[in-house]
Amino acid sequence: MAVNLANFSHCLVAALFILVAQAQVLAPDVLVKTITDDVVTVLKQDKDIQAGDTKKVATLIETKVLPHFNFTRMTRLAMARNWRLASPEQQQELTNEFRTLLVRTYSTAISSYRDQKIDYKPLRAKPDDTEVTVKAEVRQPGSTQPVSIDYEMEKTSNGWKVYDVKVGGVSLVTTYRETFAAEVKDRGVDGLLKSLAEKNRSGERLKPGKT
């Protein structure tokens, strides 16, 4: 199924709502619900962000979003078996470039917030689980069809971290797998790194492949 990255941008704003640093470790579903109100308040009150202030958007993402992502695991999932072909140095570079790529995606998402309503499903998890899925549905204004959002989270020594977000059942991370694999096959790991770096510098979107 072909994935249009623009469709992710409109829905993935929901994923931003869970990503504010907390002094205490909260249960993943509690974290999701608690942070939603905080981030929505910022989005509704900050006129500069509403007007498209890219610097403020970047600052919001850097301070509120990034601390709650495991970018190394996300990059490893996107690379799949090709991750083993990269040296430790290349793995770090790939993680940094993929991080930048996803930040740009979230920048678009946060700028597109338009009073979406988010309904959370009861968390099905055991107390000793270290990986959980927090499920939600996003309802767009004027739309009767909700969009499912699944937050794949893992428990770490620094609290719960997001390692993937699925929109309508499609993984944000693994949707890049085919594109990455094609780049590595044609140009090697260095070629993929070069492609990511060039697109990140130019602001061009990397088209995801098929999943």
Q: Is the pTM of this model over 0.85?
A: no
From 129, 4, 176, 154, select the one nearest 69 (Cα to Cα). 154
What is the reported pLDDT for 154? Answer: 94
Reported as a single tens digit per residue, the pLDDT across 124-154 is 999 899 999 999 888 877 777 888 988 899 9
Per-residue 3-state assignment (H helix, E strand, C coil) for 166-200: EECCEECCHHHHHHHHHHHHHHHHHHHHHHHHHHH
Q: pLDDT-based confidence at 23, cuts 50/70/90?
A: very low
Give the C-alpha separation, 133 to 136, whole Å.
10
Contacts of 152 (CB under 8 A, 6+ apart): 131, 133, 162, 163, 164, 165, 166
pLDDT exceeds 80 at position 63:
no
Query: Hey, how many other C-beta atoms are within 10 angstroms of the C-beta on 167?
Result: 22
Q: Which two tokens stand for residue 155?
A: 């428990």
Contacts of 126 (CB under 8 A, 6+ apart): none
Reported as a single tens digit per residue, the pLDDT across 71-116 is 999 999 999 999 999 999 999 999 999 999 888 877 777 767 767 7
Q: pLDDT-based confidence at 185, cuts 50/70/90?
A: very high
What is the reported pLDDT for 17? Answer: 56
What is the reported pLDDT for 210? Answer: 47
Q: What backbone torsions phi and psi does residue 88 show, to the nearest 5 degrees? A: -55, -40
| Sign of the alpha-carbon dihedral angle for 187, 188, 191, 193 | positive
Mean pLDDT for the chain? 82
Query: Hey, how many other C-beta atoms are within 10 angstroms of the C-beta on 13?
Result: 24
Bigger pLDDT: 98 vs 45: 98
What is the reported pLDDT for 195? Answer: 94
